[in-house]
Structure 1
């Protein structure tokens, strides 16, 4: 039986769990509606630096931050809309917004929570649109489903591109195996690839894959006999890998657009007034 509860830590936190299997997620609405933890059958799927979650002045390093209205970064943190320049920092602002819980439920098959993030005066200074971003997280036996519903509440076409930044916990990177469905990539930091393999032996590595040939990728943490498959809708056309040598995580990030997408006009979704877009990502762990 699935269940849900709420606990008060530094921030109000919702826990969706299946106690019999030792699986649960934690969601923090005030910190960008982030899934801060995902544990599958007693194994940490996501990494979390708790201090960054507790400090609202910091970007959270861990969990699964939401990247909206852009993923990646813009050249000079600037884009132009209708002849006016706007400033947007890397990965947008959704992860800094406080969200609201819309509904939460649990039954024999699953537990889910829906939350919303909406525009305000501060967001409209950087992104001149009225929007609603509805996030629904569903925990089931076969994994965690992440669904985004984006509604344009404005009178003009709204450009955006969504992404996610999951930090996957890795016990021993030397035993990690990655399968990315593309041989086409660009290094965002020098020497991020070594013999066609992602290089986790330097201080920081960052690669973006394009021309994806399938809608899923896989990591296997041999040290824990844990496989994690990330499945994503076709609108996510890019997979980004990022790692720091001295930290026990690797980020495997589905993005809709590449670096500087808003300026180069690639991967941008053009949402008509009054319309909504929906997309989903599934994180599917499995013990080997």
Structure 2
């Protein structure tokens, strides 16, 4: 039986769980609706730096930040709409907003929570569009589904590209194997990929893959006999790998668009007035075959 509970800590935290399986997720609406913790059958799936979670002055390092209305970064943090310049910082602003919980349910098959973000005066200064972003997180026996529905509430076509920044916990990077369905990549930090292998023994490693052959990435944690499969809809045309040498995580990030996407016009979704766009990723954890 799946259940949910609400914890009153510094931030109100919603917990969706399957107690008999020792599986649960925790969601913090006040911190960008981030999934701050994910355990599957007592195995830690997401990494979290707790100090960054409670410090509202900094970006959270851990969990699964939502990247919207852009998933990457812009040259000079600037894009143009109708010849007017607008500034957006890396990964957009939703991860810094407060979400409103609109529904929560639990039964014998799953537990789910739905949260909404909407435009504000501050977001309109950086992104001149009225929108609603609805996130639905569903935990079931097969893993975690993350669904995003973007609603264009404006009277003009809205450009956007969504992404996610999941931090996967890795205790022993020497025992880690990453499988990305592409052999075509660009190193965003020198020597991040060497002979087709992502380097985890340098200060920082960062690479972006395109020309994906399918929609599944695999993280094989041989130290824990754990296989994590990240499945994303076809609209996510880019996979980014990022790691820091001294931290026990690796990020495998599905993006809709590449670096500077708004300016190079690649991967941008153009949503007509009054329309909506829905996309999903799924994270499943199993034992290695």
TM (norm. structure 1) is 0.99
Count of matched residue pairs: 288
Residue 245 of structure 1 corresponds to which residue in structure 2?
Answer: 245
For 2:125 and 2:143, how far apart are their aligned partners in 1? 38
Deviation per residue, 1:230-254 (Å, 9 max, x gap): 0000000000000000000000000
For 1:16 and 1:64, how far apart are their aligned partners in 2? 15
Shift of 1:287: 2.5
Deviation per residue, 1:205-258 (Å, 9 max, x gap): 000000000011100111111110000000000000000000000000000000
| Root-mean-square deviation over aligned CA pairs | 0.5
Secondary structure (helix, strand or coil) at the match of 2:21 reads coil
Residue 230 of structure 1 corresponds to which residue in structure 2?
Answer: 230
Structure 1 residue ranges without an equivalent (≥5): none
For 1:285 and 1:171, how far apart are their aligned partners in 2? 16
Residue 32 of structure 2 corresponds to which residue in structure 1?
Answer: 32
Matched, 1:184 2:184: yes
For 1:282 and 1:10, how far apart are their aligned partners in 2? 29
Residue 200 of structure 1 corresponds to which residue in structure 2?
Answer: 200
Residue 168 of structure 2 corresponds to which residue in structure 1?
Answer: 168
Shift of 1:46: 0.2
Residue 10 of structure 2 corresponds to which residue in structure 1?
Answer: 10
Q: How does 1:136-151 map to 2 (within 5 A)?
A: 136-151=136-151
For 2:284 and 2:246, how far apart are their aligned partners in 1? 26
Residue 220 of structure 1 corresponds to which residue in structure 2?
Answer: 220
For 1:57 and 1:195, how far apart are their aligned partners in 2? 39
Residue 268 of structure 2 corresponds to which residue in structure 1?
Answer: 268
Residue 119 of structure 1 corresponds to which residue in structure 2?
Answer: 119
Shift of 1:9: 1.3
Secondary structure (helix, strand or coil) at the match of 2:38 reads strand
Shift of 1:165: 0.1
Deviation per residue, 1:106-146 (Å, 9 max, x gap): 00000000000110000000000000000000000010000
For 1:259 and 1:275, how far apart are their aligned partners in 2? 26
For 2:194 and 2:71, how far apart are their aligned partners in 1? 26
4+ residue runs over 3 A deviation: none
For 2:267 and 2:6, how far apart are their aligned partners in 1? 38
Deviation per residue, 1:144-191 (Å, 9 max, x gap): 000000000000000000000000000100000111000000000111
Residue 22 of structure 2 corresponds to which residue in structure 1?
Answer: 22
Deviation per residue, 1:44-96 (Å, 9 max, x gap): 10000001000111100000000000011000000000010000000000000
Residue 53 of structure 2 corresponds to which residue in structure 1?
Answer: 53
TM (norm. structure 2) is 0.99
Secondary structure (helix, strand or coil) at the match of 1:279 reads strand
For 2:28 and 2:252, how far apart are their aligned partners in 1? 21
Matched, 1:94 2:116: no
